[in-house]
Amino acid sequence: AQTVTQSQPEMSVQEAETVTLSCTYDTSESDYYLFWYKQPPSRQMILVIRQEAYKQQNATENRFSVNFQKAAKSFSLKISDSQLGDAAMYFCAYRSLFTGGGNKLTFGTGTQLKVEL
Amino acid sequence: EADIYQTPRYLVIGTGKKITLECSQTMGHDKMYWYQQDPGMELHLIHYSYGVNSTEKGDLSSESTVSRIRTEHFPLTLESARPSHTSQYLCASRTGFTDTQYFGPGTRLTVL
């Protein structure tokens, strides 16, 4: 079974600065997807960014980018020019391509990001 | 935000009551999911569906049941609620052509 580990329960960043959230995972599969989801307080969980394991190029979405290190099984999220609206719980998630279970997502325990003025 | 809805958003009930948490999506997605999330914790899959008349249990054992009679609707039912059922329940959906799951706003359930 796959596992996802987020070792930083909380992180803080100053507005306009850059922060990196860590995620590691364990799998024996060669092809899979990785995701970062954002869950603001009392609001809907939304997708921030996704990465296909077969792609060597790191995904980017505006101020959000990932550092995907397949051999190290590491998938960190970098947020540049942090804004107050970035404050949220961030979840790293893994999805296998080949196993059953409805292609479910396996989530990490989350990192609470605080953005300070 | 995605077109996936959950009602009620908040529910406080007494032990032994029967409850149904509603989830609807207007995107025509065939795959739907229910996750349970305790405060400050990760999400655990409790039920999923590949399509109409398809329901499967997830990783986390749950006393709840689900049904999928219509594509857009995936309700979750607890026949007799207990305090151990207190949690947040998140519904999600996706089409088979994409890997992205879209989440509803969640139902925060408290059983007294």
Q: What is the mean pLDDT of residues A41-57?
A: 89
Beta carbons of B105 and A95 less than 8 Å apart: no
B49 has a chain A CB within 8 A of its CB: yes
- How far apart, in whole angstroms, are the C-alpha atoms of residue A18 and residue B98? 30
pLDDT tens-place string over residues B49-75 = 999 999 999 888 888 999 999 999 999
Which of B32, B98, B101 to probe the A interface (max A CBs under 10 A)?
B101
Q: CA–CA separation, A69 vs B30, rounded Å? A: 33
Residue type at B66 in one-letter notation = V
> A3-34 pLDDT, tens per residue?
999 999 999 999 999 999 999 999 998 889 99
Which of A65-69, B1-5, B19-23, B41-45 bottoms out in mean pLDDT, i.e. has the lowest? B1-5
The mean pLDDT of chain A is: 92
User: Are the beta carbons of A101 and B58 separated by less than 8 Å?
Assistant: yes
Q: pLDDT value at position B112?
A: 95
Cite the DSSP H helix spans in chain B.
Answer: none
Least trusted range by pLDDT, from A25-34, A59-68, A101-110, B45-54? A101-110
CB B69 within 8 A of CB B53: yes
pLDDT the model gives residue B31: 92
CA atoms within 13 A on the CB side of A64: 18
Q: Nearest residue on chain B to A108, judged by CA atoms?
A: B42
Asked if B41 and A109 come within 8 Å (Cβ–Cβ), the reply is yes
Q: Kindly state the average pLDDT of the residues B23-36.
A: 94
